[in-house]
Amino acid sequence: MKQKFFAIGAIAVLAIVGVFIFEYATLAQRPDRNAQNQQRGNRQGGERGNRAGMMGMNYVSLVDNSWIDLSFVVKVEDETLAKTRPHYQTARDNIASKMEVLRQPGMREATTKEIQGILQGLNVSLKEILTEEQSAKLNELTKKRLTEMQQRMNRFRGGGERGRRGGGGGNQ
Protein backbone atom coordinates (compact mmCIF):
# COMPACT_ATOMS: atom_id res chain seq x y z
CA MET A 1 0.00 0.00 0.00
CA LYS A 2 2.89 2.37 0.82
CA GLN A 3 4.37 1.70 -2.60
CA LYS A 4 1.09 2.62 -4.31
CA PHE A 5 0.87 5.93 -2.41
CA PHE A 6 4.52 6.62 -3.13
CA ALA A 7 4.06 5.87 -6.83
CA ILE A 8 0.87 7.96 -7.07
CA GLY A 9 2.51 10.78 -5.09
CA ALA A 10 5.59 10.73 -7.33
CA ILE A 11 3.42 10.81 -10.47
CA ALA A 12 1.36 13.69 -9.04
CA VAL A 13 4.51 15.66 -8.15
CA LEU A 14 5.94 15.03 -11.63
CA ALA A 15 2.66 16.11 -13.21
CA ILE A 16 2.54 19.31 -11.15
CA VAL A 17 6.19 20.11 -11.90
CA GLY A 18 5.59 19.31 -15.59
CA VAL A 19 2.58 21.63 -15.77
CA PHE A 20 4.54 24.36 -13.96
CA ILE A 21 7.51 24.06 -16.35
CA PHE A 22 5.24 23.86 -19.39
CA GLU A 23 3.36 26.99 -18.31
CA TYR A 24 6.50 29.06 -17.86
CA ALA A 25 8.20 27.65 -20.95
CA THR A 26 5.28 28.66 -23.16
CA LEU A 27 4.92 31.96 -21.33
CA ALA A 28 8.50 32.81 -22.30
CA GLN A 29 7.65 32.18 -25.95
CA ARG A 30 4.34 34.01 -25.96
CA PRO A 31 4.70 37.67 -26.96
CA ASP A 32 3.40 40.15 -24.46
CA ARG A 33 1.41 42.46 -26.74
CA ASN A 34 0.97 45.25 -24.21
CA ALA A 35 4.70 45.44 -23.47
CA GLN A 36 5.53 45.44 -27.17
CA ASN A 37 3.10 48.27 -27.86
CA GLN A 38 4.60 50.26 -24.98
CA GLN A 39 8.10 49.77 -26.37
CA ARG A 40 7.04 50.90 -29.85
CA GLY A 41 5.47 54.04 -28.48
CA ASN A 42 1.86 53.02 -29.18
CA ARG A 43 0.57 54.22 -25.85
CA GLN A 44 -3.10 54.88 -25.58
CA GLY A 45 -3.76 58.55 -25.06
CA GLY A 46 -0.08 59.49 -25.22
CA GLU A 47 2.50 60.35 -27.82
CA ARG A 48 2.75 57.97 -30.72
CA GLY A 49 6.51 57.54 -30.60
CA ASN A 50 8.37 60.42 -32.19
CA ARG A 51 11.39 58.18 -32.51
CA ALA A 52 9.75 56.06 -35.21
CA GLY A 53 8.91 59.16 -37.22
CA MET A 54 12.37 60.63 -36.97
CA MET A 55 14.12 57.42 -37.81
CA GLY A 56 11.70 56.71 -40.63
CA MET A 57 12.78 59.65 -42.79
CA ASN A 58 16.48 59.12 -43.38
CA TYR A 59 17.59 62.18 -45.30
CA VAL A 60 21.18 60.92 -45.67
CA SER A 61 19.93 57.88 -47.58
CA LEU A 62 17.89 60.24 -49.75
CA VAL A 63 21.11 61.96 -50.84
CA ASP A 64 22.86 58.60 -51.26
CA ASN A 65 20.02 57.26 -53.39
CA SER A 66 20.03 60.39 -55.52
CA TRP A 67 23.74 59.88 -56.21
CA ILE A 68 23.11 56.23 -57.09
CA ASP A 69 20.25 57.20 -59.39
CA LEU A 70 22.40 59.83 -61.07
CA SER A 71 25.25 57.37 -61.55
CA PHE A 72 23.40 54.22 -62.60
CA VAL A 73 19.90 55.12 -63.76
CA VAL A 74 20.34 58.53 -65.38
CA LYS A 75 23.84 57.40 -66.45
CA VAL A 76 25.55 60.76 -66.75
CA GLU A 77 29.11 61.08 -68.03
CA ASP A 78 32.07 60.75 -65.69
CA GLU A 79 32.89 64.44 -66.06
CA THR A 80 29.39 65.36 -64.92
CA LEU A 81 29.69 63.01 -61.93
CA ALA A 82 32.99 64.64 -61.04
CA LYS A 83 31.32 68.07 -61.09
CA THR A 84 28.37 66.94 -58.94
CA ARG A 85 30.40 64.96 -56.40
CA PRO A 86 31.51 67.92 -54.22
CA HIS A 87 27.90 69.17 -54.04
CA TYR A 88 26.65 65.73 -52.99
CA GLN A 89 29.47 65.34 -50.47
CA THR A 90 28.78 68.73 -48.89
CA ALA A 91 25.03 68.08 -48.72
CA ARG A 92 25.55 64.59 -47.30
CA ASP A 93 27.99 65.80 -44.62
CA ASN A 94 25.73 68.69 -43.62
CA ILE A 95 22.66 66.46 -43.40
CA ALA A 96 24.54 63.80 -41.44
CA SER A 97 25.52 66.41 -38.85
CA LYS A 98 21.91 67.65 -38.69
CA MET A 99 20.62 64.10 -38.13
CA GLU A 100 22.35 64.08 -34.74
CA VAL A 101 20.57 67.32 -33.82
CA LEU A 102 17.29 65.94 -35.21
CA ARG A 103 17.33 63.16 -32.62
CA GLN A 104 17.37 65.65 -29.75
CA PRO A 105 14.02 66.48 -28.13
CA GLY A 106 12.35 69.64 -29.38
CA MET A 107 14.68 70.14 -32.34
CA ARG A 108 12.74 68.22 -34.95
CA GLU A 109 10.82 70.97 -36.73
CA ALA A 110 13.63 73.52 -37.01
CA THR A 111 16.20 70.90 -38.01
CA THR A 112 13.89 69.40 -40.63
CA LYS A 113 13.53 72.85 -42.21
CA GLU A 114 17.31 73.24 -42.26
CA ILE A 115 17.70 69.81 -43.89
CA GLN A 116 15.08 70.68 -46.50
CA GLY A 117 17.03 73.86 -47.23
CA ILE A 118 20.19 71.81 -47.74
CA LEU A 119 18.33 69.49 -50.12
CA GLN A 120 16.95 72.46 -52.07
CA GLY A 121 20.46 73.89 -52.32
CA LEU A 122 21.68 70.57 -53.70
CA ASN A 123 18.90 70.61 -56.29
CA VAL A 124 19.81 74.15 -57.36
CA SER A 125 23.47 73.13 -57.71
CA LEU A 126 22.53 70.06 -59.73
CA LYS A 127 20.31 72.08 -62.08
CA GLU A 128 23.33 74.24 -62.94
CA ILE A 129 25.39 71.15 -63.84
CA LEU A 130 22.89 68.72 -65.39
CA THR A 131 20.98 69.05 -68.62
CA GLU A 132 17.22 69.63 -68.42
CA GLU A 133 16.52 66.02 -69.41
CA GLN A 134 18.92 64.62 -66.80
CA SER A 135 17.57 66.94 -64.14
CA ALA A 136 13.96 66.01 -64.95
CA LYS A 137 14.73 62.28 -64.80
CA LEU A 138 16.59 62.65 -61.50
CA ASN A 139 13.73 64.68 -60.00
CA GLU A 140 11.24 62.03 -61.12
CA LEU A 141 13.29 59.27 -59.50
CA THR A 142 13.72 61.30 -56.31
CA LYS A 143 9.98 61.98 -56.06
CA LYS A 144 9.30 58.28 -56.58
CA ARG A 145 11.71 57.37 -53.78
CA LEU A 146 10.16 59.97 -51.46
CA THR A 147 6.69 58.59 -52.11
CA GLU A 148 7.88 55.04 -51.42
CA MET A 149 9.62 56.17 -48.23
CA GLN A 150 6.49 57.95 -47.00
CA GLN A 151 4.37 54.89 -47.77
CA ARG A 152 6.76 52.70 -45.78
CA MET A 153 6.60 55.13 -42.87
CA ASN A 154 2.79 55.14 -42.98
CA ARG A 155 2.71 51.35 -43.05
CA PHE A 156 5.11 51.23 -40.11
CA ARG A 157 3.01 53.69 -38.14
CA GLY A 158 -0.11 51.61 -38.67
CA GLY A 159 -1.67 53.58 -41.51
CA GLY A 160 -3.12 52.15 -44.66
CA GLU A 161 -5.88 49.65 -45.17
CA ARG A 162 -4.43 46.68 -43.36
CA GLY A 163 -3.14 48.48 -40.30
CA ARG A 164 -0.29 46.86 -38.45
CA ARG A 165 2.21 44.41 -39.80
CA GLY A 166 0.96 40.90 -40.27
CA GLY A 167 -2.38 41.61 -41.86
CA GLY A 168 -5.81 42.72 -40.98
CA GLY A 169 -7.13 42.03 -37.46
CA GLY A 170 -9.78 43.66 -35.53
CA ASN A 171 -13.32 43.25 -36.86
CA GLN A 172 -14.03 39.77 -38.11
- Residue ranges making up the domain that contains 21: 2-33
Kindly report, residue by residue over 8-37, the tens digit of the pLDDT: 888 988 888 887 776 766 555 555 545 544
Note whether residue 41 is domain-resident: no
Note whether residue 8 is domain-resident: yes
pLDDT of residue 29: 53
pLDDT of residue 99: 84
pLDDT of residue 46: 41
Question: Same structural domain for residues 9 and 82?
Answer: no
Number of domains comprising the chain? 2
For the ranges 45-49, 78-82, 131-135, 138-142, the lowest mean pLDDT is seen at 45-49
Question: Same structural domain for residues 80 and 10?
Answer: no
Note whether residue 140 is domain-resident: yes
3-state secondary structure the chain: CHHHHHHHHHHHHHHHHHHHHHHHHHHHHCCCHHHHHHHHCCCCCCCCCHHHHHHHCCHHHHHHHHHHHHHHHCCCCHHHHHHHHHHHHHHHHHHHHHHHHHCCCCCHHHHHHHHHHHHHHHHHHHHHHCCHHHHHHHHHHHHHHHHHHHHHHHHHCCCCCCCCCCCCCCCC
Question: Same structural domain for residues 24 and 97?
Answer: no
Question: Same structural domain for residues 29 and 66?
Answer: no
Kindly report, residue by residue over 106-148, the tens digit of the pLDDT: 888 888 888 889 999 999 999 999 999 999 999 999 889 888 8
Question: Same structural domain for residues 91 and 15?
Answer: no
Question: Same structural domain for residues 9 and 76?
Answer: no
Average pLDDT over residues 101-110: 82
